[in-house]
Amino acid sequence: MTPRQAEVLEAVEAFILGRGYGPTIRQLGAALGLPNPSAVLKHLQSLERKGYISRAEGGLRVAALPGPADSRVRVPVAGLVPAGGPRESFDATGEAMDVPSWMVGRRRGNVFCIRVDGKSMIDAYIDDGDHVLLERTGLANSGDMVVAMLEDGSVTLKRLRRDNGRVFLVPENPAYQPIEAPSARILGRVIGVMRKY
């Protein structure tokens, strides 16, 4: 494998682990800084011939990564978290749920699930009753969706915004107001949403 092919393979794997599905040629080209789709396609064809990836039904799959139906992972359900006004802290329920392993990726053992109560994140496609997967972390970037604990011990699901040294927890619904939370403690960063229709 050439160094460039290794870079392409790494970009494909990172995209799949981060989003749960394979990138398009244009998405991959943007990630690699390759504006020419035919150059990206040539690298993918070489990787496919060498057995590192497979292309089927319009999607990419890295040979070492399980497909969505291959395996499942049990993650603990931490409880109900408000997506509205903050409420008291959630406690571990002792429950667990099975999720596709591709949603967890390399974060296995560091992922938990919450059930959403409220509609403050509806414009981010997180609705009342959804199950949200989070990576346990105390760090998050501005723009990440997080579960945060406020100074009074209440928790909420919002988008983190930092602006000129100020910290805000911002809803994704114009009916709700941002919360200024300079001492908010990040409990987890959103990595996926599961919904049953």
Enzyme catalytic residues: 120, 158
Among candidate residues 96, 82, 86, the one with its CA nearest the CA of residue 181 = 86
State the amino acid at position 100 in one-letter form.
P
Residue 95 backbone phi and psi in degrees, to 5: -90, 165
CA dihedral sign, ordered 18, 21, 27, 30:
positive
In this structure, are residues 140 and 90 in contact, taking their beta carbons and an 8 Å threshold? no
Task: Report, in angstroms and rounded to the nearest whole number, the Rg of the chain calculated over CA atoms.
Answer: 19
With a CB cutoff of 8 Å and minimum separation 6, the contacts of 43 are 4, 5, 8
